């Protein structure tokens, strides 16, 4: 008798970043019924905004979007079901229940949470009102809107420096607002240091965004001297870290920072629930690692499902 296909989410993957896409692709390859949930429509997650992805171990140059689209298409061709709806809740009881924001419920046998992280805000008054009106988290997407104008990048890590490099091609001046020395890879720092249109504002933090209908400048404070100052700019690109995106799961599965805690096989305290990538405590932030975690969790989830089905057959 053929197996009924009523449970199209035998294993659910929450999140379409590189970790989630890699998990979905691997699950379909090994014959599991998988449903991928991605509510933002931004496949690849934050990496999708990166112009050139490093660390893949493959020859050639690939953008984050290139890698994400390829993984998504491979998963779809292999049979993955993709639902473009955000997750409202994940109930972990005797039965796993995913409720999406359209009110539909799904009952997978296992879940891989790969919902990633979102950019941390500056925490200054009125910040949200400037999103899309001068404030952006993607230089590749929005840098062209500030051609010939002055822009400011906040941060000193890999993301801040690589995005600043993109902006140097079109902007008149790129202000680098840094609280501390740059933490980015040396090769990125050397490239940025060679740009003539970059100006560094050391020991500085943003205390306010100036403007009404859009960004016109920033209020700054020197963290050492306390001295206040202002700069004029039309664009603002904050890259000061990220925060995990998993509001749908109970806090008991998270550490104090909101990251999901897992064991060596990416399983949480409930063996049916896995977490990978930027939402997971202990994730190293490497693109190749994100994809490897997705594959590892997929294999572990598939083994779990197989063992349960074998036990059910024996019991029957």
One DSSP character per residue, the chain reads -PPP---TTSEEEE--BHHHHHHHHHHHHTT--EEEE-SSS-TBGGGGG-SS-----SSS---HHHHHHHHHHHHHHTT-EEE---EEEEEESSSEEEEETTS-EE--SEEEE---EEEPP---TTGGGGBTTTB-S-HHHHGGGGTTSEEEEE--SHHHHHHHHHHTTT-SEEEEE-SSS--S-HHHHHHHHT-TTEEEETTEEEEEEE-SSS--EEEEEETTT--EEEEE-SEEEE-S-EEE--TTS-GGGB-TTSPBP--TTSB-SSTTEEE-GGGBTT----HHHHHHHHHHHHHHHHHHHHHHHHHHHHH-
Neighbours of 257 (CB within 10 A): 8
Backbone angles phi, psi at 295, to 5 degrees: -65, -45
* Cα 217 → chain centroid: 28
Q: What distances in angstroms separate CA 86 from CA 39, 44, 121, 258, one per listed residue?
A: 4, 15, 21, 19
Q: What residues are labeled active site?
A: 138, 141-142
114: Cα separation from own chain's centroid: 9
State both tokens at 277.
């990538």
């Amino acid at each position: 008798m053929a197996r009924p296909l009523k449970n199209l989410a035998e294993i659910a993957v929450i999140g379409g970043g590189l970790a989630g896409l890699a998990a979905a692709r691997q699950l379909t390859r090994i014959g599991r019924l998988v449903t991928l949930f991605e509510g933002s429509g931004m496949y690849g997650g934050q990496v999708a905004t990166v112009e050139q992805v490093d660390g893949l171990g493959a020859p050639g140059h690939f953008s984050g979007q290139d890698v994400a689209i390829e993984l998504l298409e491979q998963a779809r061709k292999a049979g993955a079901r993709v639902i473009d709806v955000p997750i409202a809740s994940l109930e972990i009881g005797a039965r796993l229940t995913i409720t999406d924001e359209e009110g539909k419920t799904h009952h997978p046998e296992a879940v891989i949470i790969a919902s990633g992280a979102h950019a941390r805000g500056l925490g200054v008054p009125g910040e949200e009102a400037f999103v899309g009106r001068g404030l952006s988290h993607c230089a590749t997407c929005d840098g062209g809107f500030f051609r010939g104008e002055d822009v400011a990048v906040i941060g000193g890590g890999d993301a801040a420096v690589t995005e600043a490099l993109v902006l140097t091609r079109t902007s008149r001046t790129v202000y680098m607002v840094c609280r501390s020395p740059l933490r980015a890879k040396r090769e990125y720092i050397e490239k940025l240091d060679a740009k003539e249109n970059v100006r560094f504002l050391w020991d500085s933090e943003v205390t306010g965004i100036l403007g009404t209908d859009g960004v016109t400048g920033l209020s700054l404070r020197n963290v050492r001297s306390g001295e206040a100052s202002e700069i004029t700019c039309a664009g603002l690109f904050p890259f000061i870290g990220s925060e995990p995106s998993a509001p749908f799961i109970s806090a008991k599965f998270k550490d104090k920072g909101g990251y999901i805690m897992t064991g060596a096989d990416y399983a949480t305290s409930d063996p049916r629930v896995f977490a990978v990538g930027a939402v997971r405590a202990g994730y190293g932030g490497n693109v190749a690692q994100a994809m490897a975690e997705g594959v590892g969790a997929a294999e572990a989830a598939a083994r779990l499902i197989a063992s349960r089905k074998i036990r059910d057959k024996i019991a029957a």
